[in-house]
Structure 1
């Protein structure tokens, strides 16, 4: 995932007339992540918006709509954000959504030190890049989730084997024991299995 996102922002610098680029991704069940930026300036702009809930990044991600700010110095939509961005030396901003038909994946943010830096051609190229980036990121996320699922299955299988050997249980009964401990302790099944493997004892309930 990290390599894919970094490739997206690095390519954006070559394909578009921008000084900085970054990607913010919507995390499952939590606040957005900032996996890749080409400069700490972008991290500062993103962090400010995520902390305050104010700015084009938030609107772009929630509304799945492209947000263009030709000149930050003359944009009155987000005064606090504009003040922070100008302080960091940025004058033009173009935020393009990364999204599938199912959900919003994130935002590709492009930044320039010049005002009116992004014309129609730049925006068209940004949309093409965003579409390709969305597919690449969604694929990387699915592969990452699949690896996590496979690892969890291996851990649970090892933990079941320990219970089967120690208590002479069949596989169904061993799984039910793990599941019961997970539910009673409000601990994920994977974590219960890992604890059993590490300590050779079921966690305290």
Structure 2
């Protein structure tokens, strides 16, 4: 485990920051976070779940299938330390799942999976009040596995991860938007050539089909490009 007061800790986090900065996308960024957690903390398993406005949390990365099981138990019931950390923007520490009283049903199932200690840390980004973008989950088969030093390192890791993930997701959204504009432009070109109409009319046709069929404009454009036919 990394000692947060040791010079090696600063070097390790500097390497992590560089690795996160150079990650080509969201998937690679979140994978780097969970792998670093395994190296830096006294945990056997790690995972990240993303928050989603108006919908259930999304499992973004796990180092072992047992983490996916732990997440799904909470996502299906909308209750547990993951949901609490995400909703209340506070870290949640469970020292022993066999004696946990806040979520006894969930804790019993997790203990049966061989996990005794749990530490969920929110990933928050943006200005205060910060927006929670997800939760970093750390798990150990040993009871009382996470010492104060582990919690300190987990919070540092969460801060690094929050910034990197927010940036990666923003870049992915921008890339998706640029791709959508390109698709719509290509579809408009097809309509303009086929029906001898101007750009405004071509866009109006695409938008009408999008509304009439309750299909995203990007998907209407993609279907026209692929099939040369409107939905």
Determine if the TM-score, normalized by the shorter chain, exceeds 0.5: yes
5 Å-filtered alignment, 1:1-205, equals: 1-101=26-126, 102-203=130-231
Runs of 4+ in 1 over 4 A off after TM superposition: none
Against the structure 1 CA distance between its residues 93 and 8, is the aligned structure 2 distance closer, same or farther, given a 3 Å change threshold?
A: same
How far apart, in 1, do the equivalents of 2:152 and 2:120 lie?
12
Give the RMSD, CA atoms, in angstroms: 1.2
SS, match of residue 145 in structure 2: coil
Range with bigger deviation, 30-39 or 86-95:
30-39
TM-score (norm 1): 0.95
**How far did residue 29 of structure 1 move?**
4.7
Task: After superposing the two structures, state which structure 1 stretch, 16-25 or 175-184, moved more.
Answer: 175-184
Gaps of 5+ in 1: none
- Per-residue CA deviation, residues 24-70 of structure 1 (Å, 9 max, x unaligned), is 11135532221211111111111111111221011011111100111
Give how far 1:186 is off. Answer: 1.5
1:184 Cα deviation after fit:
2.0
Please, what TM-score do these two structures have when normalized by structure 2? 0.84
Task: Give unmatched runs, 5+ long, in structure 2.
Answer: 1-25
Moved more, 158-167 or 20-29: 20-29
